[in-house]
Structure 1
Amino acid sequence: MAYTAAAPAPSDAGTPGSMGDVRRSNLALVLGTVAQSPAGFHLTRAQIAAATGLTKASVSSIVLDLLDAGILRELGLNPQGERGRPGVGLAMNPARGVMGLEINVDYIAAGVTDLSGAVVVQEILERDNRDSASAPVMTALSALAAEVRTAAAAKGVEILGGGLAVPGLVDDGRSTVITAPNLGWRDVKLDVTGLLPGLPLGVTLFNEANAAALAELARGPAGGKDFLFISGEVGVGGGLVIKSELFTGPEGHAGEVGHIVVDPDGSPCSCGGIGCLETIAGQDAIFSAAGVAGKRQTRSESMSALASALTNGEPASLLAVQRAGRSLGVAVASTSRVVDIKAVVLGGHFAVLEPWLRPPLLDSLSRYAPGKFLPEHITIAAAGENGALLGAAGSVVRSLVEAPHRLHS
């Protein structure tokens, strides 16, 4: 897993601040250096000292703390890149992990990754959460999280922390969902710590699309450091990544591309507005227009029915997806005029429908933002349909890398 480099830490010479601050900063610097090393290349203490500018004695002391905390492990002698006697290689400890959790309109999910981002275990449970009170949803998710935690333990992985992704605006500091229209939640405080009790890093609350955007940043192409991620679920979400950092705005609500108005005379939206992108390109909107929605069908069954109808060239389905693609192009073109973004990553049902969605999307972009986007810069998510879950987990790892002292707090 790739990480954005942590801010440079003070050297052994020190800078203004307490010795504790210097120690914490150096812990993050050493751990970040190990975490960012290429796959299969295990840095030694001497190599870390050379890369960071810290003394070998300081690095050895810090590494000992990280080994004691169970974050790093030793991998035997490493002859790579060193003269003389080989040193001992270091790597993130696969016996420690984090859990990603997700609540969406029609499913809940839980999955564990190790500290390098490899998936250990994952479970998805289809469940109708629309207009449901938060308590039964959280109860169901707690049970699923306990099952997944037990399965991870059986594989020798201890969970250090978790991240919960929700399709709505959130305030992590208050563990509150400010608004999640498709769930019917407004100002709902969640007992996130109750999902995974006893974890040293706790559980962090995320917006679903922002979490998926972070997963794409970690798992996507190395050159993809500036892009708009668009998440297609029952609703439509967006995450804006600029210079390898998630941009959320002053109050954390930037990137809500699903609520850009694309048809001022259109249908009412769950957000209270009129003619939002979600009313045309959201999952329910497409299913309804295509005539494949059924009360007894699960989400996966409806999507399979839609894909089959598209493959068979059924006019209603083709028109529904074409309209969604054109409207998506309007929203992306509008976003690009405000934020200088030239790359778009499609997730969720947009990735599934990409073969049929792409032509009207590109046509719309060429009409409303001529010359702004190259076709090769419209891609599908590398993280797949589990981006929100993986991004929530990965963000917890990233916070650990940036502040490893939290395990001792």
Structure 2
Amino acid sequence: MVMPAPAVAGPGGSAPGSVGDVRRSNLALVLGAIAEFPPGAHPSRAQVAAATGLTKASVSSLVLDLLDAGIIREIGLNPQGRGRPGVGLELSPSRAVMGMEINVDYISAAVVNLAGTVLVREEQERDNRNSPDGSVLAALAALAARVRSAAGEQGVEVLGGGLAVPGLVDPALARVLTAPNLGWVNVDLDLDALLPEAPLGVELFNEANAAALAELRHRPDGASNFLFVSGEVGVGGGIVIGSELFTGPHGHAGEVGHIVVDPDGGHCSCGGTGCLETVAGQNAIFTAAGLAPDGASRSAHMSALMQALQAGEPRAVSAVERAGRCLGIALASAARVVNIESVVLGGHFAVLEPWLRAPLLAGLEKYAPGKYASSRVTVSLVGESGALLGAAGSVTRSLVEAPHRLHA
């Protein structure tokens, strides 16, 4: 059984380690155990007790709380060999969370059930550059309402959500500290307006960090240490160490896009010079390939770039190869600092991987020889949905770790 920590008086005279704290901890233990069983497996109370080390009586009491909260449900009978079969348990399919994303040229929202399956998703192209945060959030709130309504028609309740944005954030204050490609600095977001009356509210995430968490969920066993590199209009990164996201003391670690790769290079939106983003960001690649912004959508430009690459158009090939080479330089520098030997490429880096892989590996071998094996440089398993899935999954994880929040 999970034992209480030594009692230390907290604010207001509450004492961590009290009976209430132990029960909350054990609720999380039981829910986490149920969530860990593979899809299609419906553990009985006895199996949960065996997995957690709690007594059967304790598990039965805790399960009643989770059933009452609607987080789990009973399903059928689960044969257990000899004796009477037990009633199976599973995460409730009628409860879900929502992942939302604001990016430079689109907004999106998806309802994801507690097992991680996307039930409803919608994306809307929208130019958010230098747009007031109020108008962007209003558009996202309308989109979220449609997606939430569609889930409701399937009998699914959205408990809360996560919002991913391409910038540095302070989740505790619901504040975007800086998002250069959006033109936002110290912007406080009204997150409650996105999911009115959702019991868990809405949490704020950096886009690359959210995508890294989604990637972690889908990596094979043992792949618990990697650097995720997100390629969008900007370039972001998320560091995963020991299956945990490492964000540094202020939550801003992993800003791979602002590693300097060309000291004499161009001006970056962050205020610096020669950052990776100025060479390997989407707009930088499009411009270098001769696809200067002309009002066309991001997807249209990417389609044109892919066609040019497939045709072997020299300017397009050169632009992508330079991006790959500079990405290799940045990753070589990062490897020396964080001592991680695996890289996962997301966003347009995954799409362009056939053309940028060779120069990327060449850059790594030149500047960090022997640090990365070529087999440890892989592409994302979750694709463009990474930020949505990661933001939603983080909310699910917080619920699993603290299911009592639904009773708060």
TM-score w.r.t. structure 1 length?
A: 0.96
Cα deviations by residue, 1:287-314 (Å, 9 ceiling, x for unpaired): 0000123322101000000000000000
Where does residue 96 of structure 2 map in the other structure? Answer: 97
Cα shift at 1:374: 1.1
Cα shift at 1:182: 0.3
For the residues of structure 1 that align with 2:21 and 2:27, how far apart are their CA atoms? 10
Where does residue 162 of structure 1 map in the other structure? Answer: 161
Cα deviations by residue, 1:339-369 (Å, 9 ceiling, x for unpaired): 1100000110001101111111011111111
Where does residue 125 of structure 2 map in the other structure? Answer: 126
Where does residue 45 of structure 2 map in the other structure? Answer: 45
For residues 2-81 of structure 1, what are the structure 2 equivalents within 5 Å? 10-11=2-3, 17-79=17-79, 81=80
Kept after mapping to 2: 8 A contact 1:220/1:381: no
For the residues of structure 1 that align with 2:53 and 2:173, how far apart are their CA atoms? 39
Matched residue SS, 1:85: coil
For the residues of structure 1 that align with 2:5 and 2:285, how far apart are their CA atoms? 59
Where does residue 356 of structure 1 map in the other structure? Answer: 355
For the residues of structure 2 that align with 1:222 and 1:117, how far apart are their CA atoms? 18
Cα deviations by residue, 1:360-409 (Å, 9 ceiling, x for unpaired): 10111111111111111111111111100110000000000000000000
Cα deviations by residue, 1:307-346 (Å, 9 ceiling, x for unpaired): 0000000000000000000000000000000111000001
For the residues of structure 2 that align with 1:366 and 1:221, how far apart are their CA atoms? 25
State the identity as a percent. Answer: 68
Residue identity opposite 2:149 in structure 1: T
Cα shift at 1:220: 2.2
Cα deviations by residue, 1:108-163 (Å, 9 ceiling, x for unpaired): 00001000000000001111101111111111101000000001111111000000
For the residues of structure 2 that align with 1:77 and 1:247, how far apart are their CA atoms? 41
Q: Which moved more, 1:303-312 or 1:85-94?
A: 85-94
For the residues of structure 2 that align with 1:258 and 1:41, how far apart are their CA atoms? 42
For the residues of structure 2 that align with 1:232 and 1:224, how far apart are their CA atoms? 21
Matched, 1:396 2:388: no
For the residues of structure 2 that align with 1:28 and 1:294, how far apart are their CA atoms? 50
Cα deviations by residue, 1:242-273 (Å, 9 ceiling, x for unpaired): 00000000000000000000000000000000
Cα shift at 1:15: 7.0
Q: CA RMSD in A?
A: 1.2
Cα shift at 1:37: 1.1
Cα shift at 1:39: 2.2
Where does residue 14 of structure 2 map in the other structure? Answer: none
Instruction: Sort the Cα spacing of 1:153 and 1:330 in 2 relative to 1 into closer, same or farther, 3 A.
Output: same
Cα shift at 1:223: 2.3
For the residues of structure 1 that align with 2:292 and 2:352, how far apart are their CA atoms? 16
For the residues of structure 2 that align with 1:10 and 1:363, how far apart are their CA atoms? 50
Kept after mapping to 2: 8 A contact 1:232/1:350: yes
For the residues of structure 1 that align with 2:160 and 2:368, how far apart are their CA atoms? 43
For the residues of structure 2 that align with 1:220 and 1:307, how far apart are their CA atoms? 27
Where does residue 179 of structure 1 map in the other structure? Answer: 178
Kept after mapping to 2: 8 A contact 1:99/1:393: yes
Cα shift at 1:50: 1.3
Where does residue 4 of structure 1 map in the other structure? Answer: none
Matched residue SS, 2:193: coil
For the residues of structure 1 that align with 2:45 and 2:5, how far apart are their CA atoms? 20
Q: After the TM superposition, list the runs of 4 or more consecutive aligned residues in structure 1 that deviate by more than 3 angstroms.
A: 13-16
For the residues of structure 2 that align with 1:242 and 1:294, how far apart are their CA atoms? 38
Instruction: Sort the Cα spacing of 1:15 and 1:59 in 2 relative to 1 into closer, same or farther, 3 A.
Output: farther
Where does residue 5 of structure 1 map in the other structure? Answer: none
Residue identity opposite 1:94 in structure 2: P
The alignment covers a number of residue pairs equal to: 399
Cα shift at 1:42: 1.4
Cα shift at 1:75: 1.3
Cα shift at 1:14: 8.8
Task: Give ranges in structure 2 of 5+ residues lacking alignment.
Answer: 8-16
Cα deviations by residue, 1:158-206 (Å, 9 ceiling, x for unpaired): 0000000000000011110000000000000000111101011000000
TM-score w.r.t. structure 2 length?
A: 0.96
Kept after mapping to 2: 8 A contact 1:220/1:383: no
Matched residue SS, 1:193: helix
